[in-house]
Structure 1
């Protein structure tokens, strides 16, 4: 799924980002997410991108690449488990939607910024 994100056209990325931001906004109207959880979610999203970045930088030979690939495959599940475990139980599904949305926003910010066209050299 992440490989598609890096190769997706701009308009698909924009539509997806607007959809995630709209879901966060609607969920925020019901129950706002605390700033500490927002920052934690953004950091987890940054980590998702940096894991993909490391995957491209490690040589294909060796067990470290295999271990990293295994970790990158289970990392999204670890993110969901961490978010569900840490969040308070009040309106849990609303807050979970916001937290996972901010994970995606953190991922979007870093991945799009790294792959943007350079204006000056």
Structure 2
């Protein structure tokens, strides 16, 4: 999924549609149960961290000993966060809260990656 997001095939229109769809999903889930501000900010930070880790991984791609570590970190970090979040969330409407947390994580990744790849305004 990240390979598609960072590829040339995913143009600005596709990115805009995906961002709007994620925001609508978060809004619909917030009508059922609202995720707290702290968990929302942690989820946004997780998405930004995934982007930063991917940039670091691409810079260190020539060194084989770090690749397996970053692959494991990419896989484990979101899973550990979401499993910990499931344990801390109230039992009522946990599905809506988890969808919001995943949506905020994806939105954090989208915002940071779009901003970092934008063209400069002035030369």
Matched, 1:3 2:3: yes
Contact 1:41 1:100 in 2 (8 A): yes
| Count of matched residue positions in the alignment of Structure 1 and Structure 2 | 121
CA deviations over 1:28-63 (Å, ceiling 9, x no partner): 111111111111111111111111111111141241
How much is the aligned-residue C-alpha RMSD, in angstroms?
1.6
Contact 2:46-2:78 within 8 A present in 1 as well: no
Inter-partner Cα distance in structure 2 for 1:17 and 1:67: 30
1:8-87 superposed matches below 5 A: 8-87=10-89
Superposition TM-score, scaled by structure 1 size: 0.89
Whole-angstrom distance in 1 between the partners of 2:87 and 2:49:
18
Gap runs ≥5 in structure 1: none
CA distance change for structure 1 residues 112 and 30 in 2, over 3 Å: closer, same or farther? same
Off by >4 Å, runs of 4+ in structure 1: none
TM-score by length of 2: 0.88
Q: CA deviation at 1:70?
A: 2.7
Structure 1 CA distance for aligned equivalents of residues 111 and 42 of structure 2:
15
**Structure 2 regions of 5+ residues with no counterpart?**
none
Task: Say if 1:41 and 1:103, in contact at 8 Å, map to a contact too.
Answer: yes
